[in-house]
Chain A
Amino acid sequence: MAFDTILVANRGEIAARVIRTAREMGLRTVAVHTTADAKAPHVALADAAVWIGEGPVGDSYLDGARIIAAARETGAGAIHPGYGFLSENAEFARAVEAAGLTFIGPGPEAIRVMGNKAEAKRLMIAAGVPCVPGYEGEDQSDAALTAAAQKIGFPLMVKAAAGGGGRGMRVVRNGADLAAALAAARSEAANAFGSDELILERAITLPRHVEIQVFADAHGNIVHLGERDCSVQRRHQKVVEEAPCPVMTPELRARMGTAAVEAARAVAYRGAGTVEFLLDASGAFYFLEMNTRLQVEHPVTEMITGLDLVAMQIAVAQGSPLPVTQDEVRLDGHAIEVRLYAEDPANGYLPATGPVDLWRPATGPGIRIDAGIVEGQEISPFYDPMLAKIIAHGPTREVARTRLIRAVRETVLLGTVTNAEFLADVLGQEKFTAGEATTGLLDQVYPEGFPAAETRPRDTALAVAALMQHDRDAALARAGYVSADQLGWSSAPLLPRGLTLAEGDRRIDATVGAFPGGWSVGIGEAVFDVELAVNGNDLSARIDGHRVEAVARVAGDAVQIAVGARRLAFRRLRAGSQDEARAGGGRVTAPMPGLVLAVEVAPGATVARGGKLAVLEAMKMQHQITASAAGVVKAVHVAAGQQLASGEVMIEIEEE
């Protein structure tokens, strides 16, 4: 039980979070990492770091044997699994203990029982914890499930017994759809969780998701630390989490808390756990599942209780009794958390990758940001796209909410697409503001998905001004004797210059002229006078009299800009480059005299820009002849074995 070194078997913000507390407690920390994560901050934060694989999680963060070996090599006496990965893997917990190490979490048996929805539910019913009426029997035949479904009534949920995190769940609205849903859920469950066992539950209409944080020590003490309302979800993935629940009463909290404590007691729980409930409009609540780990959203509980849950986890693992009794738990104010993801909400929440070019977490009273990213890092496709958690605390819910909106706006990550604008929008929704959000909120407010906001010409103008000022400062840095008061000045009026930008696939034609202290930017019919002061990445502008603060990063032809909650990216199109294809792409000529070795396209073939067309041998070198524009091959004038003169037409492409 005694240990002085903790290996953190995780990555990203949670690894950084655990390391922070462990260090505060005077413990040594060991990080594990992949090649893709070699420069990730958790590696730098830990006292030691062990490489455990290339990129894919199966051969690294999910490879228990490797992680246990890493703990042994580094003298770590305990392993903290974080969340996700191996955190709810009973086999792993068992293996850790078998290796003589401490698993910072509950015992393997508690993990196993709670990991199976059917078994957990049976146990909860036995312990008197209210459960959603449903079927969790061992008879998994279609007949049994269909009979049970008729008894429960529709709509109902079909869930994988071994599932979690929203995966393997589906809603069945009427009996006709049941057979198909069962078949699909079985196959999905078998694939995803290795077990095709299903449970059925009555679908509770527009419930709230309310969960109770419980804590148990090895001495039989169990407390609950109040609830978290995580109703704002997208496909069962939490988006916003807050504590307390806006409709909570002390009486309801006491009842739910007692139920949660009983649930923990039923599995002889140890450490931090979360009992999830659905709370319906009448105040009735139903056990959903128990998460046998530290939750992503644990900071909101920390912020209203003043407790450090990771410190408590470590203390419990070391055999210490809980630092608080139930009576000593105090809830102070309100905390709300949102999850910043590398994803594009306006594009079906497609996960995004890319570099972290600029990372500037917001600061201010009541703001906490848990992140595991650094500038220069690459967001890889291997891992969960969550970048950071932004949390705000305030004496009231409204203060917390408005602080959080400010923090989301002022937390700037440039380089990859994020959901920042979506988060700010959600926090500003009327229903959320009123504390009325249920799990149906996002479907109600964004029935067609999160709409792509049209970029405002004023923001484009600011981006153009930032780009121009960057160019000017680059010129100034190379120039000789130029006094500051000369900048933006011309002795006779010059016409504005033309400039073409791309924003995604959209082409924007702009004009820009200078005046001392700023830029006159024309976008379409509108002209914006942008007075601009730049200090590093900070822009302080006055646009047609309105003050605008923004953060921008200009690198070469790329401008990324954060204005309010909006995150925009533009690219300057250079002359020549965009016309290159148009000018020369149609006729592909031999760049030098040579022998045709191979022709790789035939008339009618579709080619992409850069696609291989032919191979030409000259001076013992093989030259790839590629398409300079996408299109369809119109004619092929050469054949393999043919000797060509320089400039001879080889292939003609009808451009797209």
Chain B
Amino acid sequence: MGFVSQVVRDSETFARNRADMLALVQELRDLEARPAALSEKRRERMEARGQITPRDRLARLLDPGMPFLQLHSLAGYMVDSDDPEASVPGASVIIGIGFIAGARCMVVVDDSGIKAGAMAEMTAAAFLSAQEMALRQNLPFVHLVESAGANLMEYKVEFWAKGGRLFRNLARLSAAGLPNLAVLHGPSTAGGAYMPGLADYVIGVKKNGMAALAGAALVHAATGEKADDRDLGGSEMHASTSGLVEYLAEDDAHGVEIARDVIARLDWNKSLPPRAAHAFAEPRHDIDDIAGLVPTDYRIPYDVREVVARIVDGSEFEDFKPLYGVSTVCLQAAVNGISVGIIGNNGPIDPAGATKAAQFIQLCGQADIPLIFLNNTTGYMVGTQYEQAGMIKHGAKMIQAVTSVDVPRITLYIGASFGAGNYGMSGYAYEPDFLFAWPNATTGVMGGEQAAGTMAMVARAGARRKGEEIDEDRLAKQSAMIAAHFDRQAGAFHTSGRCLDHGVIDPRDTRRVLGFCLETSLEGRARRVKPGSYGVARF
């Protein structure tokens, strides 16, 4: 209670931090704008076909003015190309949680403006992540389909083998009592044909919508039959003859409107109990300050409470064991009136900090209070003193608590997140409900400097053992290479490109992101769904 901020807004440090952070945010927005701009180039061609663009479809699908949490907007960044200037993030897919006729839904839109919506290397990973999240948060799943399928030029056997999970997940969604819906805006052939095949509801758009196990070219190659694509899999055929399509739409916009109607008819929130309304106050401290108070260099320490004071209701929180394990900060607070436990770092995690955090996690589990992890740690403490104090077993208890606690967990990488500290702080492998990074975040087994230092030490020891003279020049080059190798992979844009989080956010959006995620998970847990042994079959 009564936290007094030490942030000086008109200081030089504040101004420098702010300029650095906003530059990173701008970089994020520029990266996000790349696929949109590339896709936009196809607008004319799509409109000539009577289509609207994928982003238009998305905008029309969603309720105007309701919130939208985009996911994996950087998927595939630096995967499709090594050139940071040429790489196009997004993996040809637009994913997010949004509202359709008041129902919170997972929405996936094939970005057919980019390589005709062909799947890129990270497309499946992003797609699977969306499906897993829908399953976990009890969200209906809506897919606007227009994809050339897998890119045969970039075929890898594991894409095919692992890709089957996409369809398995659709069956799981259906069986879980989570309606999934596909709008066929364009082609969906070969494996892609099972997208509509496994959807509970299919809306086919006239003229352009098409689903077939093999298109005319492959049919001709395989059987010699000279077939016509529309007869093979046109929406009109599926609506009248095969029975794959439930609703026939005149055009893209109409298809999207039908999708909205179908979702509206689910009356998806009918079982949702009204939320106990807690009045809450906005933070007393301006969230915009975050850009100026957080140094983008993780090596410069600051008090994580300054961040918390800008994201929790009324800027008020309880400090749990503030004098014990002081560099691990455990706070009780609320976001949008929802009680939360927050764990942050003011440095490495020591044994006291690990036990304090493990206890705090269990207490939140006991009272069913969602947990928020604000990662800014270089890891668990090393050194004789700490090993002897049981750092391993205490760190393990924290990891065990994180693994087992069954409350919603939201993890934010707000600075460093290194080594096993990342595990204890609910990192990627611990499958938090939501995982977002700030653009300044740095993650990895260790920092590039430490890695280079470690390797240099090993090299010197080896040389000494062999009685050889150390080549300082070579060692310096090797150290620089190692540091660069680590650092290149550590940045938030890079890790987000590999789908090691759900996305990168503007730090000033943190309160809204937390609010959205908390409301999503509480809603998902409160909703009564009707799982069955099997998904709904189309007969």
Binding site for B on A (CB under 8 A): 468-469, 471-472, 474-483, 485-498, 512, 514, 519, 574-576, 579-580, 583
Q: Which residues of B contact A491 (CB under 8 A)?
A: 68-70, 96, 503, 505-506, 509, 512-513, 516
A495 contacts B512, C-beta separation under 8 Å: no
Q: Looking at the complex, which one of A475, A478, A494, A575 makes contact with B251 (CB distance below 8 Å)? A: A575
Q: 12 pairs across A/B with beta carbons < 8 Å?
A: A471-B65, A478-B102, A482-B67, A483-B515, A489-B509, A490-B69, A491-B516, A492-B73, A493-B32, A497-B62, A576-B251, A579-B251
Q: A475-B99, A492-B503, A575-B254 are in contact. List 6 more A-B contacts (CB 8 A).
A: A476-B66, A477-B102, A485-B336, A494-B58, A498-B60, A514-B64
A487 contacts B250, C-beta separation under 8 Å: no
Within 8 A of A (CB), among B256-279: 256-258, 264, 269, 272, 275
| 1/0 contact string of B504-539 vs chain A (CB within 8 Å) | 011001011101100100110011000000000000
What distance in Å separates the Cβ of A585 from its nearest Cβ neighbour in chain B? 11
B519 contacts A481, C-beta separation under 8 Å: yes
What distance in Å separates the Cβ of A238 from its nearest Cβ neighbour in chain B? 46
User: How many residue pairs between the two chains, A and B, have CB atoms under 8 Å in the bound complex?
Assistant: 147
What distance in Å separates the Cβ of B38 from its nearest Cβ neighbour in chain A? 13
What distance in Å separates the Cβ of B251 from its nearest Cβ neighbour in chain A? 6
**Minimal Cβ-Cβ distance residue in A for B53:** A495
Known: A495-B55, A576-B250. A488 touches B99 (CB 8 A): no
Q: Which residues of A contact B319 (CB under 8 A)?
A: none
**Minimal Cβ-Cβ distance residue in B for A478:** B102
A574 contacts B65, C-beta separation under 8 Å: no
Q: Count chain B residues whose beta carbon lies closer than 8 angstroms to a beta carbon of A.
A: 57
**Complexed CA–CA distance, A245 and B36 (Å):** 67
**Complexed CA–CA distance, A576 and B60 (Å):** 13
Q: Looking at the complex, which one of B63, B73, B252, B506 makes contact with A472 (CB distance below 8 Å)? A: B63
Q: Dominant SS at the A interface? A: mixed
Q: Does B59 contact A (CB under 8 A)?
A: yes
What distance in Å separates the Cβ of B103 from its nearest Cβ neighbour in chain A? 7
Q: Which residues of A contact B33 (CB under 8 A)?
A: 493
Q: Which 3 A-B pairs have the closest CB atoms?
A: A478-B102, A575-B253, A497-B59
Q: Which residues of B contact A583 (CB under 8 A)?
A: 206, 250-251
**Minimal Cβ-Cβ distance residue in A for B272:** A480
**Complexed CA–CA distance, A583 and B248 (Å):** 12
Q: Which residues of B contact A492 (CB under 8 A)?
A: 32, 68, 70, 73, 96, 503
What distance in Å separates the Cβ of B513 from its nearest Cβ neighbour in chain A? 6
B519 contacts A480, C-beta separation under 8 Å: yes
Q: Does B297 contact A (CB under 8 A)?
A: no
Known: A494-B58, A498-B56. A479 touches B250 (CB 8 A): no
B65 contacts A469, C-beta separation under 8 Å: yes
Q: Which residues of A contact B512 (CB under 8 A)?
A: 485-486, 489, 491
Kindly name the residue among A483, A491, A580 whose own CB sees the greatest number of chain B CB atoms within 10 A. A491
A496 contacts B59, C-beta separation under 8 Å: yes
**Complexed CA–CA distance, A2 and B99 (Å):** 70
**Complexed CA–CA distance, A24 and B77 (Å):** 80
Q: Which residues of B contact A512 (CB under 8 A)?
A: 64
What distance in Å separates the Cβ of A502 from its nearest Cβ neighbour in chain B? 15
Within 8 A of A (CB), among B96-155: 96, 99, 101-104
Q: Which residues of B contact A483 (CB under 8 A)?
A: 336-337, 515, 519
**Minimal Cβ-Cβ distance residue in B for A473:** B65
What distance in Å separates the Cβ of A10 from its nearest Cβ neighbour in chain B? 48
Q: Does B52 contact A (CB under 8 A)?
A: yes
**Complexed CA–CA distance, A550 and B258 (Å):** 33
**Complexed CA–CA distance, A84 and B66 (Å):** 55
Known: A479-B99, A498-B56, A575-B251. A487 touches B275 (CB 8 A): no
B67 contacts A489, C-beta separation under 8 Å: yes
Q: Which residues of B contact A485 (CB under 8 A)?
A: 282, 336, 511-512, 515
Known: A472-B66, A480-B272, A488-B65. A576 touches B101 (CB 8 A): no
Q: Which residues of B contact A494 (CB under 8 A)?
A: 55, 58-59, 62, 68, 70
Q: Does B249 contact A (CB under 8 A)?
A: yes
What distance in Å separates the Cβ of B91 from its nearest Cβ neighbour in chain A? 14
Q: Looking at the complex, which one of B249, B505, B515 makes contact with A486 (CB distance below 8 Å)? A: B515
**Complexed CA–CA distance, A261 and B61 (Å):** 74
Q: Which residues of A contact B516 (CB under 8 A)?
A: 486, 491
Q: Which residues of B contact A471 (CB under 8 A)?
A: 63-65
**Minimal Cβ-Cβ distance residue in B for A475:** B63
B251 contacts A482, C-beta separation under 8 Å: no
Q: Looking at the complex, which one of B29, B102, B269, B523 makes contact with A474 (CB distance below 8 Å)? A: B102
Q: Which residues of B contact A478 (CB under 8 A)?
A: 101-103, 264, 269
**Complexed CA–CA distance, A476 and B258 (Å):** 20
Q: Which residues of A contact B96 (CB under 8 A)?
A: 491-492
Q: Which residues of B contact A575 (CB under 8 A)?
A: 60, 250-254, 256-257
A495 contacts B36, C-beta separation under 8 Å: yes
**Minimal Cβ-Cβ distance residue in A for B253:** A575
**Minimal Cβ-Cβ distance residue in A for B527:** A480
B56 contacts A497, C-beta separation under 8 Å: yes
**Minimal Cβ-Cβ distance residue in A for B509:** A491
Q: Which residues of A contact B258 (CB under 8 A)?
A: 576
Q: Which residues of B contact A488 (CB under 8 A)?
A: 65, 67
Q: Which residues of A contact B250 (CB under 8 A)?
A: 575-576, 579-580, 583
What distance in Å separates the Cβ of B182 from its nearest Cβ neighbour in chain A? 18
What distance in Å separates the Cβ of A529 from its nearest Cβ neighbour in chain B? 14
Q: Which residues of A contact B264 (CB under 8 A)?
A: 478
Q: Which residues of B contact A580 (CB under 8 A)?
A: 250
A479 contacts B269, C-beta separation under 8 Å: yes
| 1/0 contact string of B379-423 vs chain A (CB within 8 Å) | 000000000000000000000000000000000000000000000
Q: Which residues of B contact A472 (CB under 8 A)?
A: 63-66
Kindly name the residue among A471, A495, A512, A583 whose own CB sees the greatest number of chain B CB atoms within 10 A. A495
What distance in Å separates the Cβ of A121 from its nearest Cβ neighbour in chain B? 67
What distance in Å separates the Cβ of A500 from its nearest Cβ neighbour in chain B? 9
A579 contacts B59, C-beta separation under 8 Å: no
Q: Which residues of B contact A576 (CB under 8 A)?
A: 249-251, 253-254, 257-258
B505 contacts A497, C-beta separation under 8 Å: no
**Minimal Cβ-Cβ distance residue in B for A482:** B519
Within 8 A of A (CB), among B43-93: 52, 55-56, 58-60, 62-70, 73
**Complexed CA–CA distance, A479 and B66 (Å):** 10
Q: Which residues of A contact B523 (CB under 8 A)?
A: 480-481
**Complexed CA–CA distance, A488 and B522 (Å):** 21
B275 contacts A468, C-beta separation under 8 Å: no
**Minimal Cβ-Cβ distance residue in A for B104:** A480
B102 contacts A481, C-beta separation under 8 Å: no
**Complexed CA–CA distance, A488 and B62 (Å):** 12
**Minimal Cβ-Cβ distance residue in B for A647:** B240
Known: A469-B65, A494-B55. A479 touches B103 (CB 8 A): yes
**Complexed CA–CA distance, A496 and B62 (Å):** 11
**Complexed CA–CA distance, A524 and B29 (Å):** 26
What distance in Å separates the Cβ of B173 from its nearest Cβ neighbour in chain A? 19
Q: Which residues of A contact B29 (CB under 8 A)?
A: 493
**Minimal Cβ-Cβ distance residue in B for A464:** B64
**Complexed CA–CA distance, A519 and B65 (Å):** 8
**Complexed CA–CA distance, A491 and B516 (Å):** 10
**Complexed CA–CA distance, A594 and B103 (Å):** 43
A495 contacts B56, C-beta separation under 8 Å: yes
B253 contacts A490, C-beta separation under 8 Å: no
Known: A472-B65, A512-B64. A498 touches B519 (CB 8 A): no
Q: Looking at the complex, which one of A487, A497, A574 makes contact with B66 (CB distance below 8 Å)? A: A487
**Complexed CA–CA distance, A519 and B32 (Å):** 22
**Complexed CA–CA distance, A519 and B56 (Å):** 17
A498 contacts B59, C-beta separation under 8 Å: yes
Q: Looking at the complex, which one of A480, A493, A574 makes contact with B269 (CB distance below 8 Å)? A: A480
Q: Which residues of A contact B337 (CB under 8 A)?
A: 483
Q: Which residues of A contact B515 (CB under 8 A)?
A: 483, 485-486
What distance in Å separates the Cβ of A576 from its nearest Cβ neighbour in chain B? 3
What distance in Å separates the Cβ of A642 from its nearest Cβ neighbour in chain B? 23
**Complexed CA–CA distance, A485 and B250 (Å):** 37
**Minimal Cβ-Cβ distance residue in B for A580:** B250
